[in-house]
Homo-oligomer: A and B are copies of this chain.
Amino acid sequence: MATEQTAARVTRRRVRTRARLLDAAFTVFAAKGFGRVSIEEVCEAAGFSRGAFYSNFATLDELFFALYQERADLIAEQVADALALDGPVLDVPASVARVTEVLLLDVDWLLVKTDFLVHAARRPAVAQALLDHRARLRGAIADRLPRAAGHTLPAALGDADGAAHAVVAAYDGVTTQLLLDRDVEAARAWLGHLLTALLTDGSTTPHES
Protein backbone atom coordinates (compact mmCIF):
# COMPACT_ATOMS: atom_id res chain seq x y z
CA MET A 1 0.00 0.00 0.00
CA ALA A 2 1.80 3.06 1.28
CA THR A 3 5.54 3.26 1.14
CA GLU A 4 7.45 4.29 4.19
CA GLN A 5 7.65 7.80 2.85
CA THR A 6 4.02 8.53 2.26
CA ALA A 7 2.90 6.65 5.35
CA ALA A 8 2.73 8.38 8.67
CA ARG A 9 6.17 8.60 10.16
CA VAL A 10 7.10 5.60 12.23
CA THR A 11 9.38 6.89 14.89
CA ARG A 12 12.06 4.72 16.38
CA ARG A 13 10.28 4.81 19.69
CA ARG A 14 7.15 3.44 18.14
CA VAL A 15 8.74 0.35 16.67
CA ARG A 16 10.44 -0.37 19.96
CA THR A 17 7.25 -0.16 21.98
CA ARG A 18 5.50 -2.29 19.43
CA ALA A 19 8.24 -4.88 19.68
CA ARG A 20 8.14 -4.79 23.46
CA LEU A 21 4.40 -5.29 23.38
CA LEU A 22 4.77 -8.27 21.10
CA ASP A 23 7.48 -9.82 23.24
CA ALA A 24 5.49 -9.31 26.41
CA ALA A 25 2.42 -10.76 24.74
CA PHE A 26 4.35 -13.87 23.79
CA THR A 27 5.44 -14.41 27.37
CA VAL A 28 2.00 -13.87 28.81
CA PHE A 29 0.21 -15.90 26.15
CA ALA A 30 2.58 -18.79 26.69
CA ALA A 31 2.03 -18.69 30.42
CA LYS A 32 -1.73 -18.29 30.62
CA GLY A 33 -3.14 -18.88 27.16
CA PHE A 34 -4.56 -16.34 24.80
CA GLY A 35 -8.10 -16.81 26.05
CA ARG A 36 -7.19 -15.93 29.61
CA VAL A 37 -5.10 -12.86 28.96
CA SER A 38 -6.37 -9.31 29.20
CA ILE A 39 -5.04 -6.35 27.32
CA GLU A 40 -3.94 -4.82 30.57
CA GLU A 41 -1.84 -7.85 31.47
CA VAL A 42 0.09 -7.54 28.25
CA CYS A 43 0.69 -3.86 28.82
CA GLU A 44 1.75 -4.46 32.38
CA ALA A 45 4.25 -7.13 31.31
CA ALA A 46 5.61 -4.75 28.70
CA GLY A 47 5.83 -1.89 31.15
CA PHE A 48 3.22 0.25 29.46
CA SER A 49 -0.25 1.42 30.18
CA ARG A 50 -3.25 0.63 28.08
CA GLY A 51 -2.93 3.80 26.08
CA ALA A 52 0.21 2.46 24.47
CA PHE A 53 -1.61 -0.65 23.38
CA TYR A 54 -4.53 1.12 21.75
CA SER A 55 -2.10 3.37 19.99
CA ASN A 56 -0.49 0.35 18.31
CA PHE A 57 -3.27 -2.20 17.95
CA ALA A 58 -7.02 -2.07 17.71
CA THR A 59 -7.68 -5.36 19.45
CA LEU A 60 -5.96 -8.29 21.10
CA ASP A 61 -6.77 -10.44 18.09
CA GLU A 62 -4.83 -8.07 15.89
CA LEU A 63 -1.81 -8.26 18.15
CA PHE A 64 -2.06 -12.03 18.26
CA PHE A 65 -2.07 -12.21 14.50
CA ALA A 66 0.96 -9.97 14.22
CA LEU A 67 2.75 -11.98 16.86
CA TYR A 68 2.09 -15.26 15.12
CA GLN A 69 3.09 -14.00 11.73
CA GLU A 70 6.35 -12.60 12.99
CA ARG A 71 7.50 -15.76 14.71
CA ALA A 72 6.13 -18.17 12.14
CA ASP A 73 7.88 -16.40 9.31
CA LEU A 74 11.09 -16.57 11.26
CA ILE A 75 10.75 -20.29 11.78
CA ALA A 76 9.81 -20.95 8.18
CA GLU A 77 12.95 -19.16 7.18
CA GLN A 78 15.04 -21.26 9.54
CA VAL A 79 13.54 -24.44 8.16
CA ALA A 80 14.32 -23.36 4.64
CA ASP A 81 17.88 -22.60 5.69
CA ALA A 82 18.22 -25.96 7.39
CA LEU A 83 17.19 -27.70 4.19
CA ALA A 84 19.38 -25.51 2.01
CA LEU A 85 22.54 -26.24 3.97
CA ASP A 86 23.39 -29.26 1.87
CA GLY A 87 24.77 -28.91 -1.57
CA PRO A 88 22.85 -29.90 -4.66
CA VAL A 89 22.04 -33.28 -3.11
CA LEU A 90 20.02 -33.56 0.06
CA ASP A 91 21.37 -35.65 2.89
CA VAL A 92 18.11 -36.92 4.31
CA PRO A 93 19.19 -38.02 7.81
CA ALA A 94 21.22 -34.88 8.38
CA SER A 95 18.43 -32.65 7.13
CA VAL A 96 15.91 -34.45 9.29
CA ALA A 97 18.12 -33.88 12.29
CA ARG A 98 18.51 -30.18 11.58
CA VAL A 99 14.86 -29.58 10.84
CA THR A 100 13.85 -31.50 13.93
CA GLU A 101 16.09 -29.26 15.97
CA VAL A 102 14.55 -26.10 14.58
CA LEU A 103 10.94 -27.17 14.76
CA LEU A 104 10.91 -28.47 18.31
CA LEU A 105 13.04 -25.84 19.93
CA ASP A 106 10.73 -24.07 22.31
CA VAL A 107 7.70 -25.46 24.11
CA ASP A 108 6.40 -21.98 24.79
CA TRP A 109 6.20 -21.35 21.10
CA LEU A 110 4.28 -24.57 20.59
CA LEU A 111 1.81 -23.48 23.24
CA VAL A 112 1.23 -20.14 21.58
CA LYS A 113 1.13 -21.75 18.15
CA THR A 114 -1.55 -24.20 19.24
CA ASP A 115 -3.51 -21.43 20.86
CA PHE A 116 -3.38 -19.67 17.54
CA LEU A 117 -4.54 -22.78 15.77
CA VAL A 118 -7.75 -23.09 17.77
CA HIS A 119 -8.16 -19.37 17.49
CA ALA A 120 -7.88 -19.51 13.70
CA ALA A 121 -10.06 -22.59 13.42
CA ARG A 122 -13.06 -20.44 14.34
CA ARG A 123 -12.21 -17.46 12.14
CA PRO A 124 -12.25 -18.29 8.44
CA ALA A 125 -10.10 -15.34 7.41
CA VAL A 126 -7.43 -16.16 9.96
CA ALA A 127 -7.64 -19.82 9.08
CA GLN A 128 -6.99 -18.96 5.46
CA ALA A 129 -3.92 -16.97 6.41
CA LEU A 130 -2.64 -19.87 8.45
CA LEU A 131 -3.33 -22.28 5.61
CA ASP A 132 -1.37 -20.05 3.27
CA HIS A 133 1.51 -19.99 5.66
CA ARG A 134 1.48 -23.76 5.99
CA ALA A 135 1.35 -24.10 2.23
CA ARG A 136 4.42 -21.93 1.89
CA LEU A 137 6.24 -24.02 4.46
CA ARG A 138 5.29 -27.20 2.60
CA GLY A 139 6.47 -25.63 -0.60
CA ALA A 140 9.88 -24.95 0.87
CA ILE A 141 10.09 -28.59 1.91
CA ALA A 142 8.72 -30.02 -1.32
CA ASP A 143 11.17 -28.00 -3.36
CA ARG A 144 14.04 -29.61 -1.56
CA LEU A 145 12.84 -33.16 -1.16
CA PRO A 146 13.25 -34.36 -4.76
CA ARG A 147 16.96 -33.78 -4.42
CA ALA A 148 17.20 -36.58 -1.92
CA ALA A 149 20.18 -38.68 -2.84
CA GLY A 150 19.33 -42.09 -4.18
CA HIS A 151 16.07 -42.28 -2.32
CA THR A 152 12.93 -42.96 -4.26
CA LEU A 153 10.64 -41.06 -1.87
CA PRO A 154 8.72 -44.27 -2.11
CA ALA A 155 5.83 -44.25 0.21
CA ALA A 156 2.16 -44.19 -0.53
CA LEU A 157 2.38 -40.46 -0.25
CA GLY A 158 2.43 -39.60 -3.91
CA ASP A 159 4.51 -36.71 -5.13
CA ALA A 160 6.90 -34.45 -3.29
CA ASP A 161 4.10 -32.21 -2.11
CA GLY A 162 2.41 -35.21 -0.62
CA ALA A 163 5.59 -36.03 1.22
CA ALA A 164 5.83 -32.46 2.47
CA HIS A 165 2.28 -32.76 3.69
CA ALA A 166 3.25 -35.87 5.59
CA VAL A 167 6.22 -34.13 7.13
CA VAL A 168 4.02 -31.35 8.46
CA ALA A 169 1.48 -33.84 9.73
CA ALA A 170 4.19 -35.71 11.60
CA TYR A 171 5.39 -32.47 13.10
CA ASP A 172 1.90 -31.53 14.24
CA GLY A 173 1.32 -34.97 15.66
CA VAL A 174 4.50 -34.98 17.68
CA THR A 175 3.73 -31.48 18.88
CA THR A 176 0.52 -32.67 20.47
CA GLN A 177 2.29 -35.23 22.58
CA LEU A 178 5.06 -32.82 23.46
CA LEU A 179 2.59 -30.27 24.76
CA LEU A 180 1.45 -32.80 27.31
CA ASP A 181 4.61 -34.54 28.44
CA ARG A 182 7.01 -31.64 27.82
CA ASP A 183 9.78 -34.03 26.92
CA VAL A 184 11.54 -32.18 24.14
CA GLU A 185 14.25 -34.77 23.64
CA ALA A 186 11.79 -37.62 23.31
CA ALA A 187 9.76 -35.55 20.89
CA ARG A 188 12.80 -34.85 18.73
CA ALA A 189 13.70 -38.51 18.63
CA TRP A 190 10.13 -39.41 17.74
CA LEU A 191 9.87 -36.87 15.02
CA GLY A 192 13.13 -38.17 13.63
CA HIS A 193 11.81 -41.71 13.59
CA LEU A 194 8.56 -40.73 11.99
CA LEU A 195 10.19 -38.62 9.31
CA THR A 196 12.69 -41.26 8.34
CA ALA A 197 9.94 -43.86 8.36
CA LEU A 198 7.89 -41.68 6.05
CA LEU A 199 10.62 -40.43 3.76
CA THR A 200 12.59 -43.59 3.24
CA ASP A 201 11.22 -46.90 2.11
CA GLY A 202 11.00 -49.84 4.43
CA SER A 203 14.39 -51.22 3.51
CA THR A 204 16.30 -48.42 5.16
CA THR A 205 16.31 -48.50 8.95
CA PRO A 206 17.55 -45.58 11.02
CA HIS A 207 20.17 -45.94 13.68
CA GLU A 208 18.92 -46.58 17.19
CA SER A 209 18.96 -43.74 19.71
Contact = CB atoms under 8 A, between A and B. Distances in A.
A180 B120 CA distance: 7
Interface string A190-209: 10011011100111011000
Interface in A113-169: 114-115, 117-122, 127, 130-131, 134, 154-158, 162, 165-166, 168-169
A35 interface: yes
Q: For the complex, would chain A's binding face be called helix, strand, loop or mixed by DSSP majority?
A: helix
A177 B172 contact: yes
Contacts of A197: 155-157, 166, 198
Contacts of A171: 173
Interface residues of A, number: 51
A205 B131 contact: no
A26 interface: no
Nearest to A207: B156
Interface string A76-100: 0000000000000000000000000
B111 A122 contact: yes
A165 B174 CA distance: 9
Given A118-B118, A180-B130, A202-B201, A169 B190 contact: yes
Given A120-B180, A197-B156, A34 B35 contact: yes
Contacts of A157: 193-194, 197
